[in-house]
Amino acid sequence: MTSNKVEYQKILSQIQNEFSDTPLSGKVASYIPELAKVPSNKFGMHLYDLDGESHCFGDSNERFSIQSISKVFTLSLAMKMVGDKLWNRVGVEPSGDPFNSLSQLENDSGIPRNPFINAGALVIADVLVSAFSNPKAALLAFLHEITDDSSIDFDETVAASEQAEGYRNYAMVNYLKSFGNIENDVEEVLDFYFHQCALSMSCKELSQAFIIFANHGKILGSDREFLTGQQVKRINALMQTCGFYDEAGEFSFEVGLPGKSGVGGGIVAINPYYYAVSVWSPPLNPKGNSALGMAALERLTTLTGFSIF
């Protein structure tokens, strides 16, 4: 099956119609004050296929705080910079615990279970602080290149809000430091981490950025390899098994695609060799994932008739 045999726009329009009158379930994230201000009725979806065609509906061009979706981008940069040495400091197993859990670090001697829980992402942030003199600029440069959009930036208001309320992350990075798994100044690591989570992107921009994970590590129309085939394989595997906090199994069961969610209400998923798709709906289920976003992606793979399984 090739992507041009699937009427993606027709399918997305059906999804929009199916959920247009559905009462919203879940609650908008409130532990970061700025996120609590986002209207709960925002709903957008954008699919970018490997033919270079875009299909969308709703609020797909409106930027929002991508939060933990950013962990896929920082992991990609870290893998490019340090290679397999990275896995000496962070694992690749699902956690089965909430994304901000501290308990596992004690049992695992300061080695986070995977790069997508907060502890793992903080270790990745430390790697990038070591690798770049200006890691925030390096992250933005990477995103500008893979999206061809130099206007993508951090939302400084959200970053400040995260810093003001980030007590568990402060505890976590200091705890990691006590095990020797943070090499840099904790304030510098946290500043970068809070900014990466405060990246502001739209569904359209996220789908364009994630197309490299569906296309052998390359953007469409380019021979430049941003990531190797092996790196893409490993990142996709981690998204499949660890991309949804302690609900990764449910997402695999219902949707069947590698992906990553964020508490800003965004979810991005990829179907290798076919497309990258992003959906945004702020209300979260009890596991911290967009309730409507998960339902919309389940309908996408049901209506297209194919996932990775």
Catalytic choice (129, 158, 232, 263): 263
Q: How far is it, in rounded angstroms, from Cα 235 to Cα 238?
A: 5
263 is an active site residue: yes
Token digits for 242?
A: 């660890």
Q: Are 288 and 263 in contact (CB under 8 A)?
A: yes
Catalytic choice (48, 204, 232, 245): 245
Pairing of strands 199-201, 153-154: antiparallel
Catalytic choice (65, 68, 261, 281): 68
71 is an active site residue: yes
Residues present in the chain in total = 309
Token digits for 205?
A: 């921009």
Cβ partners under 8 Å of residue 269, min gap 6 = 239, 255, 257, 258, 259, 260, 276, 277, 278, 297
Catalytic choice (193, 218, 287, 307): 193
193 is an active site residue: yes
- Whole-angstrom Cα Rg for the chain: 18
275 is an active site residue: no
Residue 93: CB atoms within 10 Å: 12
Catalytic choice (71, 177, 218, 260): 71
273 is an active site residue: no
Q: How far is it, in rounded angstroms, from Cα 309 to Cα 307?
A: 5
First to last CA, the chain: 14
Going by C-alpha positions, the residue among 21, 70, 26 that lies closest to residue 198 is 70
Q: How far is it, in rounded angstroms, from Cα 81 to Cα 79?
A: 5
Q: Are 281 and 27 in contact (CB under 8 A)?
A: no
Query: Which residues participate in catalysis according to the annotation?
Result: 68, 71, 193, 245, 263
